[in-house]
Chains A and B, each alone.
Chain A
């Protein structure tokens, strides 16, 4: 956990992304241009960005957009949070100079060193500190440098933050705290710069777990998380920081928590994922629909991992009769298991095939074997095929 190494990791991340690896293979396979750079999920015009019904409330004046990548959208959300709430502060390891992923760039200069500041290198301390600030009514936006390093704070998050309101009979709460942490694979992150620990936290009542797939989503969901009256862990897929670029509304807006989003309507099979996995699923759907003419897939971004939007997934599976769930985290006891068993309970009579889970293997996240570990396009495609051909 040496900061020097972490900075090195983020710098080489930048380098590799410019070469285009994180954005997907340069060679189109089966005629499909893979990766974030070619995604149709990203809104490349202002008109596209604002067509979103969740943003329909924004007036024409508010309708201005600006091209941002994901770290800029996160930065913009925090800037708005600080500007609209004098009790809000941003802190963590190396956030003062802008953060190792640039997410806090310019905030210390704009809002002052007492509102955007470095902490000593202690994750349990950062989480505890955030809880304390929130417990006396302030807004704490804390950063854990990599989701892989959130485990020293596990006790503070699970035993303290999650139970604060319940155990005090609602005399006290830490609703004002949000923990941001870069998560997921990055191409070369190895064991400790790649993990997706959402399922550890999804097993803990009292916490909300949120993860965005794009800059528009990141800004709206982060602002909603900061202002939500519950402790929220906000996982940011770090390979999207620079790779995902879209037109983002400049205004102050929020996107709803615990609400999944149907990205593509379909009738034959429901595909559920979240975070960076959405781009792999987008490609898998393209491949499946190309290889199996007439097939129509419904693609859903869960967005909030806990409490998750059961109804939207149930409604979809009741229509399609088939479900594929995919995530980078290991399979056993991952979110896929939770979604599968809930859907089995709720849609038993409608299911026409076993629910397919496409996940990371039950191994630590490996360095040189990343491409064999990942629930990539071909594995997701194969699962779709298995579901529809069953």
Chain B
């Protein structure tokens, strides 16, 4: 999960994957030559990332960006905890688990909030207003933190 968020900004991995997977799987558009297609894709992958970033910066509302920053922060915290656990060892395993799952759970809940408050998803969640979504978020987070504090001993 940590890697996924970053994968959007850091481009190198998609081209490597593509060269491995696209040739066997996309046999349908055999009209184009292989070389031109791969070149196209290569370009577009780079361009797409840049364009996406621009699009994101432009199109996303301020509030959603705030949520995204919070999510990125959670990812960083989670990764740090995990790395620390890998380096030092997981002796109080419940402490690691509760800390780590607090970040994961909070990330997931925040992602849910982001999805629910997104204007594009109005059709999907007709019964949930943004205020309701926020109240749900608070409810879920309270439960999450109660369990984490209880589990960390």
Q: Do A and B bind each other?
A: no
List B residues at the A interface (Cβ < 8 Å).
none
